[in-house]
Structure 1
Amino acid sequence: MIATTALSKRYGEHLALDDVALRVPEGSVYGLAGRNGAGKTTLIGILAGLRRATSGEVRIDAPPERVAVLADAPRFDPWLTGREVVALAQQLTDPAGDIDGVLDQAGLTEAKTRRVGGYSRGMLQRLGVAAAIVGRPRLLLLDEPASALDPQGRREVLDLIARLRGTATVLFSSHILGDVQEVCDTVGVLDHGRLRFQGPLDELLVGAAGPRYEVRLRGPAEPVAEALRRHPWVTHVETGPERLTVGVTAMEYAEAELPGALAAADALVVSFGPEELTLERAFLALTR
């Protein structure tokens, strides 16, 4: 759906995007993850045609009228009702668009006749998504759609994005890595203007993280860590207060050998098991 080639953007001496080769598969929910200032908003602005790249090419396999964009903090005239906002968007994009259907999809049926000046921030974000999708876009670009919301508002927006899967290609940016991990099937990691990784989320989690076990202990961890480091199937051991993180060459080694190795080290084990794979850990491994 989206392909960029050698895409770069300069603001004076600052290189905001550096040779970005973005690939967004059609039908995917693609999460563009990165710290604040990584270049996410600049990239989405270029894809949306709101900014001009310094160099490089952009190809989008959808006509401009089938591409919808939502800024991180959408604003609407406060005297309009939610339904009137979406109706205006429908008139601009697709007269056949289902106004009440997208409001229902956004969870705003009961609030659609209320003036949006009384909407919460989360409701405004969902209204923005409803206005964006009433034209039945093939591509939806969302810039930090949940970053400034409280937990309830974030939950509502993420659920709405998840429900869009299969109806459009969705690209959304976020510095909240848990949000990306929760709803995306494909991920790009943008760091200082460079795309450090892109591909299936599962591939990133397994490839960047590597197999590790978490061990909770009663007592000091360092003597146990020293004993474990002598085993050839142990790649590294990190210690914390009554805690170990044990990197292994393969999970089968940990499952077969780790219990005996802990017992031989006289470890007082409270619990142990595979470490949960998180996007945050993989992100830090790529960008540190």
Structure 2
Amino acid sequence: MSAPVPAGTVRAGLVSPRPVPAALLRHAVTVVEQVADAVKVTDTSRPGWYGLAVSGTLRPGARPGPAREELRGPATALGVDTALVTGELATDGVGLLVMDVDSTLITAEVIELLAEHAGTRDLVADVTERAMRGELDFAASLRERVAMLAGLDAGALADVRAAVTLTPGARELVDAVHDAGGRVGVVSGGFAEVVAPLATSLGIDHMVANVLEVDDGRLTGRTAGAVVDRTAKERHLREWARADGVALERVVAVGDGANDLDMLAAAGLGVAFCAKPVVQAEADAAVSFPRLDAVLGLLGR
């Protein structure tokens, strides 16, 4: 991430797996010039994606809200992801990054990997898909899916841990936030048995996930303790921000399913990552291609 910039800065970030069309860049400059002075363009591209930042000094009394929508519509039509940030997030960068895990930090749904060992993957995947679209209550869907794992040898957890793959750009995003002095948390509707070692390997500062109940070396088909659901995700985001002394304005949340919507709304910037349509529609911004570090480009960094 770049160094802090003067107060009153506005940043429009544009990211894409392909070069950003020149016409869209001209439009972005025009949009930012409506609310800011001393506008400049910076190349923020990294390996795997192209990025441009249009930044300037926000004029007193200017309202950036309409500018966000004026930029996002044409950009989305051209396959480019955008965000427009102001305030402390624009000047000081990310104070706290909070991410979902399954299909966000990692490429798979852990419960489906476990279900493959139990011979119930297709059944579990169908319930997962409906829950991610917001068609099912998450806690109820989790109970239904975990019940399909009953009797599975707990040794399968080691096989699943070995099979988990980080989403491209995940390590780069975590490292960039840490290098700039920020903190990182992961909050998962998946399982601590897989998430905790992964979080430790990445140096992640906060972690919470569901815990699978095991009896005599086999999964019981139940979880232990409170379920990490939509409400819990938002609560943990707020608690971590408070503990770290970070204003919510400087919190960035990233997730892909309906279970993430409350925490995306609570953050200064909520990012839908390769997400279901309902999540893309409600989030502040989206990354529509599988490079997690493109979140940096949305922030113009």
Superposition TM-score tier, normalisation by shorter sequence = under 0.3
Higher strand share: 1
- TM-score (structure 2 length as normaliser): 0.24
Which has the greater radius of gyration? 1
- TM-score (structure 1 length as normaliser): 0.25
Relative contact order, higher structure (CA 8 A, sep 6+)? 2
